Structures are given as C-alpha cells and as structure tokens.
Structure 1
Amino acid sequence: MLYQDEHIVAIDKPPGLLVHRSPIDKKETRFAVQTLRDQLGKHVFPAHRLDRPTSGVLLFTFDGKTAAKLGEQMMSKRVYKEYHAIVRGFMYGCGMVDYPLKYRFDKIADKHRRQQQAPQPASTFYQVRKRFELPYAVGKYQSARYSLITLNPTTGRKHQLRRHLVHLRHPIIGDTTHGDGKQNKFVQREFNFHNLALSCTQMGFYHPVSGKWMTVSANMHTNMVNTLNRWREYEL
C-alpha cells in the first residue's frame, strides 16, 4: 500500500497483474480490484488504468463519484504522471513526442467498441537519466546500448508510451507487442529480465475531496532495479 485515507487508496501494481477482469485472459483469476477489495474488506473503484505488463502507482477510490472526479482531472490534463523506462539505444537530453495515435483494436477486448479511424492527439515529454553500453553483440550491433529515461504523458492513449518510443526508434525493453525481439531475448538470456521495463513511479493530483495537491510515488519494479544495478559498471 502506497497511500490510503477514507476516500482513496493507492497501490504499487506488480507487472503482469490485470487491473480488473478482462476478456483478454478469461482464465486469469487474480486482479488488482479483487485483491485490494479482499484485503480491505470493501469495494474499490479504479480511477485509471495501467496496462497489464506495466507496474507502478495505481489509484483507487471507495465510491464511483470520487472515481469520476479523478477521471475528470485526467481528462482535463490536471494529473501529473511520471514513468521510468529502459529503452534500446542512446537517447539524449529531453524533448516532446507530439505524434497522434490511431486506436488499435483488440479482437477480443474491443469487439463492442465503435471503430474510430481518425488518429487521436497524443503527446509525451521525455528526459534521459542514464546511458549504458554493454560489451555484448546483439543483432547487427557490436555492443548493446540502452537508456534509462523518464516519461510524462499529457494524454492517455492505448499503449501511448510504448508506441511513442517505437516512433522515436527507441522501443522499451521487454515490449513484446511493439518492441525489438532480439533485444528482448538478449536481456532475458543474459540478465533474467522477463518484464516490460516500464513503471509508473509518480502521480500528482488534486485530492477529489479536500482539493489539496498530493503526490504518490513508487520505486521502479524490482526486476528493473536489479538489472540497472548489474549495469552500473557500463554506465557512461
């Protein structure tokens, strides 16, 4: 538990956990909503979503009205979100990706969703924190290069961060949908890294009842931290 009061509760979602029951995996029996409800002994309402492979700050409320208030903040871009990601290649400095994204429909999860053709506006700020060069040949490259970056999305499109990094040609490590298969296999084999290297490490928002600005933070998930620790000697 990262934070709890009588109106909201925030947890550190592990990678691989679905937020709620989904047709994407009908056999799955563990969900963040159900687990938290059983732990607290009361109903909870997710105020936002994290993709299944993404870890980090996940916010819930104890009633639908409060969840709706937080949802309104997110729609009006008043919520601050920060993610940490490990990506392929060297990135430099900071910048913004302003690249509209077309909604990608899932045959199962989105079968009842209205087909939208026009790309939706999407923007993400990024800043490079560290760079690493490992003495391993991967694919056509003689060394393995990676960057640790922070990401601040101002919109919330499906797979936005993953798709924006692919647009920059720096896919997130462990992304099996949009990423680099050779790099993913390399970090699995050499560093036992089997997750998506993406964690929501901070959320800032106005408390839906008190109106006060508050921030909830979490660490990168353990698999990311352990891998980065093993790369210390290769940091530039």
Structure 2
Amino acid sequence: MLEILYQDSHLVAVNKPAGWLVHRTWLDRHETVFVMQTLRDQIGQHVFTVHRLDRPTSGILLMALSSDVARSLSQQFEQHQVAKTYHAIVRGYLLDDGTVDYALTEELDKIADKFSSAQKAPQPAITHYRALASVEVPLPIGRYPTSRFSLMELQPQTGRKHQLRRHMSHLRHPIIGDTTHGDLKQNRGVVEHFSCPGLMLHASQMQLSHPVTGEHLSITAPLDSRWQGLIGDFGWKGILPALEGVEFASPSGQDSGQIVIR
C-alpha cells in the first residue's frame, strides 16, 4: 500500500518509497513493483504521470486522474510554477546558504540513449540550498579519523536530470548513497555503520495551484524509516518535525542554524 498524501477527484499525491520505479520500463524488465500500477489498483482508477522522481529518491509524487488535468499540471511544472523542496544528507560540513548556478550537460543513458544525436550544449541549472545541521562522528570512513555530514534543504529552480545530485557533487558535498555522482567509500561506510542503504534524497514538500479550482495546495511527505534512523543516530531529531511526524523539543544549548556534534 502506498501512503496517499493528498487526493481529490482530480489528482492524487503519494509518498514514493525509495527504490520504486514510477512505471514499467524495458530497461528494468525484472522489476515487478511500480508506483503507477500499485496506485491504480489501490484507488481503482487510472492515473497519469505529470513529473519525474528518480528511482532512488523518496517523497512526493504527484499524479493526475484525467488527461486534461495531467496536461494542466505538466504545464505548471514546465513553467516552473511548482515550488519543490527536497532534503538531503551530504558528505562533509556545508554550513552556509547559497545558490548553485551551474549549467549541466544532458546525461544520456548508455542503453536507452545509445542512438541519440550529438550531445547538446549545457543547459542552465539553478539550485538554492540551506544548511540545517551538521555532525562529526568518530568513524574513520575515509582517510580521516572522523566523518562529517550535513543536513541540507534544497530547492531546485530548474529541473534538469539528476540536478540536485550533480549540483551537490559540484560543491564537493555529494549526497550520501549517490552511486553515480557520490563518494563510494562514504556510501559504504554509512551502510556498514548505520545500516542505512540508498540515496539520502527526499522530495519533502510541494506547493502549487490546484489545476481545476485554483486554490493553493501545500503537500508534505514524511520521512521513511531509513531517514528516521539516521537523523536519530546523528542527533538531528526535531530539526524537521513536520517530516518526522512527531513534535520534538528544540535541542537545548543549540542555536537555530546548526547542530554540531563532536
């Protein structure tokens, strides 16, 4: 059963589990679980996709219940009228706020895009980021005796393929669990020491105009058990109370910007 975050007669939003494909694809012939088919069976109604969410990413996936609504929602995404907020855990200390304005070349799939034409010129890509917390743990995952991690809020202004993962890697603070653009040693270390596999990137909030009524919609997706466990291990409980599903008191003796555990 998928967790339904919002549903009316026109659209539905679910909390996509990490590792789930949105729909069937010949590139993953052996997969048997898909969001579209599962949701269709769950609500007894056909659904239409309007935006992408990578397989390893968890969080809000919005779908339409008719082709007309799907077209209207797709236009909102294409015209950057949908505000999306993600949260990520990255390698190292990233303690400030800022904007990554770094053009990205199109990433082609080795199989699906093997007959594609020559690579296009880099496309503009902008991501706003905000540091929420940081931690240093006494684990020699890399070449140092300790390992550092930061909790980030990310807001993409554009929607390029793997934009958040590539922009964090560009800052030399790759997202934990990113097998393509990340740090393999850090990824393995987090799995080994914290039993937390997968990409630590979560589509947590979405704000948009209802395609039929015009009302403002704000949708939030709670964190899964992997996230709950890791933020507990890092002492970050209470930083994201709306996503944790439980109200926590603010940690005493900490300022509102960073938490640093040494």
Give TM class, smaller chain.
over 0.9
**Aligned pairs (5 A) from 1:1-236:** 1-111=4-114, 113-232=116-235, 235-236=260-261
Q: Give CA-to-partner distance per residue, 1:128-180, whole Å, 9 cap, x none.
A: 00000001112212210000000000111111000000000000000111100
Task: Answer 1 or 2: higher relative contact order, Cα 8 Å, separation at least 6.
Answer: 1
Q: TM-score, normalised by structure 2?
A: 0.87
| Count of residue correspondences | 236
Ranges in structure 2 where 5+ consecutive residues have no aligned partner: 237-258
Give the whole-Å Cα distance in 1 for the aligned partners of 2:10 and 2:26.
29
- Aligned to 1:232, the other structure's residue is in SS state coil
Whether the 8 Å contact between 1:200 and 1:220 is mirrored in structure 2 is no
User: What CA distance in whole angstroms lies between the structure 2 residues aligned with 1:220 and 1:45?
Assistant: 24
Inter-partner Cα distance in structure 1 for 2:187 and 2:119:
31
Cα shift at 1:24? 2.6
Q: Deviations over 1:52-73 (max 9, x none)?
A: 0000000000112211111111
Q: Is the 1:173–1:183 Cα contact (8 Å) retained in structure 2? A: yes
d(CA) in 2 for partners of 1:12 and 1:127?
23
Letter of the structure 2 residue corresponding to residue 203 of structure 1 = M
Measured in 1, the distance between the counterparts of 2:115 and 2:94 equals 39
Q: Secondary structure at the match of 2:165?
A: helix
Query: Can you give the 5+ residue segments of structure 1 that lack an aligned partner in the other structure?
Result: none
CA distance in 1, matches of 2:69, 2:173: 37
> Partners in 2 of 1:191 and 1:65 — Cα distance?
45
CA contact (8 A) 1:199 1:221 kept: no
Q: Is the 8 A contact 1:201 1:217 kept in 2?
A: yes
Q: Distance in 2 between matches of 1:115 and 1:22?
A: 24
Q: Distance in 2 between matches of 1:115 and 1:18?
A: 28
Q: Structure 1, residues 94-123: CA drift from partner, whole Å, max 9, x if none?
A: 100010110110022334655442011110
How far apart, in 1, do the equivalents of 2:227 and 2:113 lie?
31
Assess if the C-alpha contact under 8 Å between 1:57 and 1:217 holds in 2: yes
